[in-house]
Amino acid sequence: MTSAVTGSVASEDDWSFIADGIAARLGLTEGVVAVDGPSGAGKSTFAAELVRALGDRGRRSVLISTDDFATWDDPAAWWPELERDILRAYERHHDYTYRPRVWVDGTPTVGPRVWIRWQPLLVIEGVTSARRRSAHRLAAALWIDGPSATERLRRAVARDGEADRGNLMRWQAFERGWFAVDGTRDRCTVIG
């Protein structure tokens, strides 16, 4: 995302400012908010800022990352697990548990069960979080384009390590195809 303030890629301060504005404008008190877009776009940073901004307005929320479910070999088919373990319990106003993936030496395994207390707002961030299959469940769907694919790859490699460059390049190819078929961006409010 290019910042209107500095003309450069958005900083954490920019995401904070944007999150404050969205939290104020949305006026949400309950519901599921998806933050979607390509890898390395800034979704995780923005989503954390959105949860903070909602909290500053007295709106309790929980943040779940699709990174807790997705793996290199299974970038999207895990969604029924998220629906079963998180979304259905959330919709019934029940606390929920799930088993995030734990990565050891580049290999994902199902980790220990995590218990989450129900809160009125559930923010799900990550690639495919605003997918067509669950659009009817979303109170808001937000999209972040981020910088160029080359810059996003550089950021993702800086985050995940050089050893994952090949996986990240395959992931970018997957998400381009996914977003084209799913039409995700077209259903979202583009924020950056």
Q: Looking at the predicted structure, is the pLDDT value of residue 4 above 60?
A: no
Average pLDDT, the chain: 90
Ramachandran angles phi, psi of 139, nearest 5°: -80, -30
Q: Is residue 68 part of a domain?
A: yes
- Rounded mean pLDDT, 8-28: 73
The distance of Cα 105 from the centroid of its chain, to the nearest Å, equals 24
**155: its two tokens:** 């950021």
- How far apart are the C-alpha atoms of 123 and 37, rounded to whole Å? 14
Give the domain range for residue 62.
12-72+120-190
Nearest to 188 by CA among 121, 131, 120, 123: 131
Assess contact for 122 and 62: CB atoms under 8 A.
Answer: yes
**96: its two tokens:** 């929920």
- How far apart are the C-alpha atoms of 23 and 179, rounded to whole Å? 26
pLDDT of residue 13: 65
Sequence-separated (6 or more) residues with CB below 8 Å from residue 6: 14
Q: Is residue 77 part of a domain?
A: no
pLDDT of residue 10: 56
Taking only the tens place, the pLDDT of each residue in 118-163 is: 999 999 999 999 999 999 999 999 999 999 999 999 999 998 899 9
Q: Is residue 103 part of a domain?
A: no
Q: Looking at the predicted structure, is the pLDDT value of residue 2 above 70?
A: no
Torsion angle defined by CA atoms of residues 130, 132, 134 and 136, in that order, rounded to the nearest 10 degrees? 100
Q: Is residue 84 part of a domain?
A: no
Taking only the tens place, the pLDDT of each residue in 68-119 is: 999 999 999 999 999 999 999 999 999 999 999 998 888 899 999 999 999 9
Query: Domain holding 37: CATH number?
Result: 3.40.50.300
pLDDT of residue 7: 35
Confidence grade of residue 174 (pLDDT, cut at 50, 70, 90) = very high
**Half-sphere CA count of 128, side-chain side, radius 13 A:** 23
pLDDT of residue 48: 93
Q: Is residue 109 part of a domain?
A: no
Q: Is residue 79 part of a domain?
A: no
Quote the number of domains for the chain.
1
Q: Looking at the predicted structure, is the pLDDT value of residue 3 above 80?
A: no
Q: Is residue 36 part of a domain?
A: yes
pLDDT of residue 151: 94
**88: its two tokens:** 């259905």
Q: Is residue 105 part of a domain?
A: no
